[in-house]
Chain A
C-alpha cells in the first residue's frame, strides 16, 4: 500500500516540474500566473502525501488547508491587480 503512495508522490513531483516551462516561457503574464497557480495547487496534494509518508498527517493536513486558501487568494489578488492596471492605461 505504501508503494502506491510513493508512486503517487513521484507522479506529483514530476507534475510539479513540468509547469515551470510555462512559467519561464509563457508569452503573456497571465500564462506565468496560470503556471504558478498550477504549481501552487499541486503542492497542496504533495504536502499532504509527504505528510502521510512522514506519519505526521495531523500536522500536515492543517498546513495543507491553510495553503489551499492562500494559493486561491493569491491568484485572485493578482488577477484583480492586473485588471485594475489595465484600467489605468
Chain B
C-alpha cells in the first residue's frame, strides 16, 4: 500500500462514513429544517471527501481535474439547493420546531 493509496483510502472511508451519517440524519431529524442540515452540510462534505479520495487515487490524469471540478460544484450547488428548498418551505409557512419538549411537540403537530 503506497502512501497515496493510504491517503486516498482514508479520504474514501471517512467520506463513506459521512455519507452514511448524512442519510441517517435526513431520516431521524425531527423537523424539516433540521433535515436540511443533514442534507446540505453532511452530504456535501461526505461526497467531497469520496470524490477527492478518487481524485487522489486517479493521480494526475484529466479525470482528476474533472473529479475536483465535480467536488467544487457539489460544494457550491448542494447547500444552494437545500437553501432554496428551505426558503420555499418557510415562505409557505412551515414553522421550524423550536422546542424539543414532548408536550409542546404534540401541540406543534396538533395545530
B residues contacting A by CB (< 8 A) are: 1, 5, 8-9, 12-13, 15-17, 19-20, 22-24, 26-27, 32, 35-36, 39, 43, 47, 50-51, 53-54, 57-58, 62-63, 66-67, 69-70, 73-74, 77-78, 80-82, 84-89, 91-92, 94
Q: How far is the CB of B30 from chain A (nearest CB, A)?
A: 11
Known: A5-B12, A44-B47. A18 touches B24 (CB 8 A): yes
A interface majority secondary structure = helix
| Contact mask for chain A residues 1-29; partner B; CB cutoff 8 A; 1 contact, 0 none | 10011011001101110110110000110
A residues contacting B by CB (< 8 A) are: 1, 4-5, 7-8, 11-12, 14-16, 18-19, 21-22, 27-28, 30-31, 33-35, 37-38, 41-42, 44-45, 48-49, 52, 57-58, 61-62, 64-65, 68-69, 72, 75-76, 79-80, 82-83, 86
A21 to B109: give the CA distance in the assembly, Å: 20
Instruction: Give which listed residue, B20, B63, B82, B85, contacts A11 with CB less than 8 A.
Output: B20
Q: How far is the CB of A39 from chain B (nearest CB, A)?
A: 9
B interface majority secondary structure = helix
